[in-house]
Structure 1
């Protein structure tokens, strides 16, 4: 009831500063090992993200603990109980990421990307690759309710397929995976973000899902056309233009006319 703003801001500040500092530090170590001169861009390119996130997260956790206990508004027993509930709420997402990382290792060892790229090269036009990855990632994220898990599974596969099929499509393919995963996660009724959105707005969960679907599908359809254009033209500007034209056309098509009374 007598909370302090600093108790909210300070842990977040420590998280950001700690993570970025460790990213620069681990990146600098990698540059030194390779005998390269230090630069900020080079450090970020060669950083160890996992270690940086762990150190930043632990620093923020320790800071939050000290802030909570120093205020003397909650007891140590209450804090430990809340800490256990936090672990429980995040366990599902951590488990999904753990299995995604495991699958990534298996996919890499089996050279799945090379195999799939050989199938794509021999059966369909390479230009369809971005839009196919977009749709597949959206379906996967919708089914699993997690965009991060889809990132972990699909990004290595998409990168390997693009490099072996047509390196010029590497960035469009990675973009398609991330956009499709976020789209599917946004629409999924089992996604944590969807559940939290309906809970925070105090509305029926299924009502929230069904009312946001038309807007998401409008953007997804327009984006799919844009990725199709990018795949065949390899022009980002033409892809943006096609997306905008299709979106305007769909808005005009489905726009409800006011009813006369």
Structure 2
């Protein structure tokens, strides 16, 4: 049963974030934070394994576990067939510049909009070798992959994000059914300033229209001047079992069959199931792609034992990410049990006025999401709190204030999902780019914070001018 421990409730998440930056070891930081949290709740030392057992023995974690394993399998197959190398070679024949190579990653991230889990892994894995050749730091690649995942997914009305957010709106004010709720979500899309600006800023940074600063500038200078895409002592968040896979000797592979076709299988199943069933079956899509690609590999002369060994190597390669996700899920559940989000809301609810509502809603949602690393959990908490307030202020009429409030919750949630070291998509961006996770977070946060501050300012201006 959820409780509210007041200020103590923010201790585990805060400790995890601080330790992550100080020690550069995410697993250690999350484990210590979970242990401190269960002790603070009075559950004793046995509370830690109990927390892991209850959190990880769920359908939601089983889903992401299987998803990661199948994605790891597909990535391993890409590498064993030489598909990634073939794609890199195909791009290199176009004699593109360093900027254009990064822009391809930016566009690819927006293209794979249907899954914020697949997008950063796909972009990072596909573009990693190419970016290495053009001396693009792994931190920069992770930033590109991360900033075109959740920020893009939340802007699209045909994703699980849209279904989840609109589902939360049903029953609020005059919103009576799913059709009306989805209409509100669609009308709120232009007001989701954080997501829009985040995606646009990536392109501007790549083109040099926004200059690099902070740790990212240092990382890019290192890559360009020293040829080091990773800093000395960095620990890439991808196992060697996956990064060291070489193409099978003598296999006659095809760029279309071994790369584009599996991607089309994933996209077709994900979007098709969304249209027919109302829910994108992403995990099933990668299972299907794994099977299709395995059959193709066998037809191309790669032995069955080698295919199985490659699949297992792929699964082993994503284990570092799975361990972090497991501990992050446990910390998220712990924060929920301790009433972290409710405490943050309680100390800020008196500030809310009609003019400040979108800005304060965005700020509170951002703090909650960054502290817990979960955007959907933030949506579930903030939508029932902020949107009814907006309807009260508008006399139960659907106005720009309502749209802006819905968008502010969505954007604030994405901020945390986008850059928190506890976030699953941030972990997956580090995994896809094979970047040190904390290096990725440290280089991305200054840009994410700048966008968040700009978004907050725009909501304040809008609130006092025409909302």
Interval of TM-score (by shorter of Structure 1 and Structure 2):
0.5 to 0.7
Q: Does 1:7 align with 2:258?
A: yes
Distance change >3 Å, CA 233–CA 82, structure 1 → 2? farther
Measure the CA separation in 1 of the matches of 2:385 and 2:267: 34
Residue 357 of structure 2 corresponds to 129
Residue 91 of structure 2 corresponds to none
Which of 439, 447, 462 aligns to 1:215? It is 447
Give the alignment of 1:19-168 within 5 angstroms: 19-26=270-277, 47=278, 49=279, 52-73=281-302, 75-85=306-316, 88-89=319-320, 91=322, 92-93=324-325, 120=349, 124-144=352-372, 146=373, 150-167=374-391, 168=399
Which of 188, 192, 195 aligns to 2:430? It is 195
Do 2:294 and 2:307's aligned partners in 1 also have CA atoms closer than 8 Å?
no
Q: Does 1:171 align with 2:399?
A: no
Q: Does 1:227 align with 2:456?
A: no
Residue 183 of structure 1 corresponds to 415
Distance change >3 Å, CA 166–CA 225, structure 1 → 2? same
Measure the CA separation in 1 of the matches of 2:297 and 2:328: 30
Measure the CA separation in 1 of the matches of 2:439 and 2:283: 37
Distance change >3 Å, CA 123–CA 181, structure 1 → 2? closer
Distance change >3 Å, CA 55–CA 205, structure 1 → 2? closer
Distance change >3 Å, CA 185–CA 161, structure 1 → 2? closer
Do 2:419 and 2:444's aligned partners in 1 also have CA atoms closer than 8 Å?
yes
Measure the CA separation in 2 of the matches of 1:86 and 1:170: 45
Give the secondary structure class of the aligned counterpart of 1:127.
coil
Q: CA RMSD in A?
A: 4.2
Alignment coverage as a number of residue pairs? 197
Divergent runs of 4+, >6 A: 97-104
Distance change >3 Å, CA 94–CA 12, structure 1 → 2? farther
Describe the superposition over 1:218-254 as per-residue Cα deviations: whole angstroms up to 9, x where unpaired. 222111111223344565xxxxxxxxxxxxxxxxxxx
Which consecutive unaligned segments of at least 5 residues does structure 1 have?
A: 27-46, 107-111, 236-261
Give 1:17 shift: 0.9
Give 1:96 shift: 5.4
Residue 37 of structure 1 corresponds to none
Distance change >3 Å, CA 156–CA 9, structure 1 → 2? same
Measure the CA separation in 2 of the matches of 1:59 and 1:234: 50
Do 1:158 and 1:173's aligned partners in 2 also have CA atoms closer than 8 Å?
no
TM-score by length of 2: 0.34
Higher helix share: 1
Distance change >3 Å, CA 141–CA 174, structure 1 → 2? same
Q: Which is bigger in relative contact order (C-alpha 8 A, separation at least 6)?
A: 2
Describe the superposition over 1:29-57 as per-residue Cα deviations: whole angstroms up to 9, x where unpaired. xxxxxxxxxxxxxxxxxx2x16x334433
TM-score by length of 1: 0.56
Measure the CA separation in 1 of the matches of 2:270 and 2:301: 28
